[in-house]
Amino acid sequence: MWQLFRSSLILITLVSLLSPAMARELDEGIEYKRLKSPVPVQTPGKVEVVEMFWYGCPHCFHLEPDIKAWLDRKPDNVEFIRIPAVFRPVWELHAKVYYTAEFLGVMDKIHEPFFHALQVKKQIITTPRAVRDFFVKHGVDGKEFDGVFNSFAVDAKIRRAKELSRRYELSGVPTLIVNGQYVTDGPMAGGRKGMMEVLDYLIKKSSK
């Protein structure tokens, strides 16, 4: 009896030690796909993880806490990059929000509050004037905003985001891309939790 109990205890312990990604089979073409043409990474020597998102996407908003929790435990050999997807004019406007905040060094004042404004407060922010008002309301000098929002640097980032939205073969957002080769999203992975499991799996796969 003790031997049976001891064997059961060992089995339970081993199962509990398995990571979520190891607890199920992950298959290329089902939980993730391989890009037909790999995209060169921006950070050679590290495993690059890219999140393609849109501020107007509720699924992207709800993934944010999962991403933040993952960032606290991500391996040291992993570089994380956010890129706003660009498919339509309003997506491009919201991408300019992200890059303007990045260049001004005010991401902490803008990124989460802008998500919250659109997804929780249901504010309609679809014009450059409304974007400017939002930045000013959150402590950004209007003249500094004007100098960056329509700058060549932001426009160059937008062009790159458009190109990557195409090259990553996006069918929607949020989408995670690992090392410019592997792609997963909610429908493939089975939701937000599944996306993070697949992400961990692909990082291990790419680290070998």
Whole-angstrom distance, CA of residue 199 vs CA of residue 67:
11
Ordered per-residue pLDDT tens for the chain, 208 residues: 444 434 444 444 434 444 444 456 899 999 999 999 999 999 889 999 999 999 999 999 999 999 999 999 999 999 999 999 999 999 999 999 999 999 999 999 999 999 999 999 999 999 999 999 999 999 999 999 999 999 999 999 999 999 999 999 999 999 999 999 999 999 999 999 999 999 999 999 999 8
Whole-angstrom distance, CA of residue 28 vs CA of residue 175:
16
Full set of structural domains in the chain with CATH: 28-207 (3.40.30.10)
Pairing of the two strands 78-84 and 47-53 = parallel
